[in-house]
Chains A and B, each alone.
Chain A
């Protein structure tokens, strides 16, 4: 029978054991450094992506009134005039879902005069305050003042009122 109390370890076996400990220590060190590096890297990446999204919204909010879906061309040329009739009819078009990429809020709101009904629909229009094309949560919003124009049957011509385009983007979190 073997006596377990008198097992002899060779010098080679001892060195292997030493090496294994060193290797494990090196791997742990590498792991810690990697985690530290990745956390710093992703932190800066997140803020860069946020900046990119913000920049994209800034650029788009400036130009939105001139896009084919928004622009008012029925009467005199006006670069900051928005066609409210078009927007109302565009609101429920399913094909436009996801059309405005990276924009989580896109809304046109009347500044003056104000009506009691907030959101416009075919029944309340034009005596309502806003048309929301994209609605999202957790957003930072930016505004740009525009003229909201429509054909007014009561006066038989165009009526333009003061309003604003509100656009927002979703943060990376």
Chain B
């Protein structure tokens, strides 16, 4: 019998198995390291994005526009939670290195308690760019900044004059692309753009300016004021309702501080009679959805009127 043809001894089998184990574990570890490197990179992008959103916030300005450029196509995940005294805003990102490639894993979220980002739950950059509009919410005192983040691809059909003027101001009379097309008819809107109609049907988003309602995905979102109107247009319903609840909570906390201030300065000779109104304001901030927000605005209007009547010792 010829045994030379197949000399497959135990040492060979052992070497093959051990070699395969070493090779596969090396490949596995390398893949994992590359994956975790990408998640780490995306986490830094999320943290940087969160930092960038600080200067975007307004001070005494009416509204602000900023353009954020990413180094790769990026998805920004906007997670909002309304539990806790102020709720929580979480931002995480995922990127892809080239077109057609798979998206990376969602990064570790970066959270904040004093930021209110209105966007889709997953907002994607267009041309590696993200547009950010910020405007303060005052009712009657400043409650926070409404930060609208969108990747572009919006077409506003016949918007009211105030919205058009606001967009013209933010875009420096059209010199800067703020990612929003304004069109006179729906047919002239570019393809794959989200269309927004005002007091008219047929668009992806319908705005009823009389009732203060934005309808999208079959859901009605109630808004009060220009900032929340834009917030409702650009957000997913879940994000909008959550952020509105968070804003109401912040309004409640600030209301308590202003109520205590009104009471404190009364002791220093500043008679204001705002304590009971501010207490009603605080109670009204316990909202379940955007429809309840109307209660706060009614009290806020009355508070503003009374406060404006105070000459030298205004509370806010």
Contacts and interface: CB of A to CB of B under 8 A. Distances in A.
Interface of A: 12, 15-16, 19, 23, 26, 45, 48, 52, 55-56, 59-60, 62-63, 65-69, 71, 73-75, 77-79, 83, 85-86, 89-90, 93, 95-96, 98-101, 151-153, 156-158
Given A52-B48, A59-B51, A74-B314, A90 B257 contact: yes
A100 B111 CA distance: 11
Contacts of A60: 54
Given A68-B250, A101-B113, A77 B60 contact: yes
B55 A63 contact: yes
Name the 10 nearest CB pairs between A and B, nearest first: A153-B268, A66-B59, A59-B54, A95-B85, A15-B11, A74-B314, A153-B269, A89-B260, A68-B142, A79-B59
B315 interface: yes
B185 interface: no
A142 B46 CA distance: 24
B22 interface: yes
Contact of B312 (A52, A78, A156): A156
Given A59-B54, A73-B142, A77-B60, A99 B14 contact: no
Interface residues of B, number: 48
Contact of A48 (B44, B50, B141): B44
6 contacts: A16-B14, A55-B51, A68-B141, A86-B257, A89-B260, A153-B269
A73 B244 CA distance: 23
Interface centre among B15, B55, B261, B315 (most CB of A within 10 A): B261
Given A68-B142, A68-B250, A69-B254, A151 B313 contact: yes
A155 B265 CA distance: 13
A59 B250 contact: no
Given A67-B57, A68-B142, A101-B112, 15 more contacts: A23-B22, A60-B54, A66-B58, A66-B59, A67-B114, A71-B142, A79-B59, A83-B261, A85-B261, A86-B258, A93-B253, A95-B86, A99-B113, A151-B268, A153-B268
A23 B260 CA distance: 73
Interface in B9-54: 9-11, 14-15, 18, 22, 40, 44, 47-48, 50-52, 54
B180 interface: no
Contacts of A55: 48, 51
Nearest to B311: A157
B254 A79 contact: no
B270 interface: yes
Interface string B285-316: 00000000000000000000000000011111
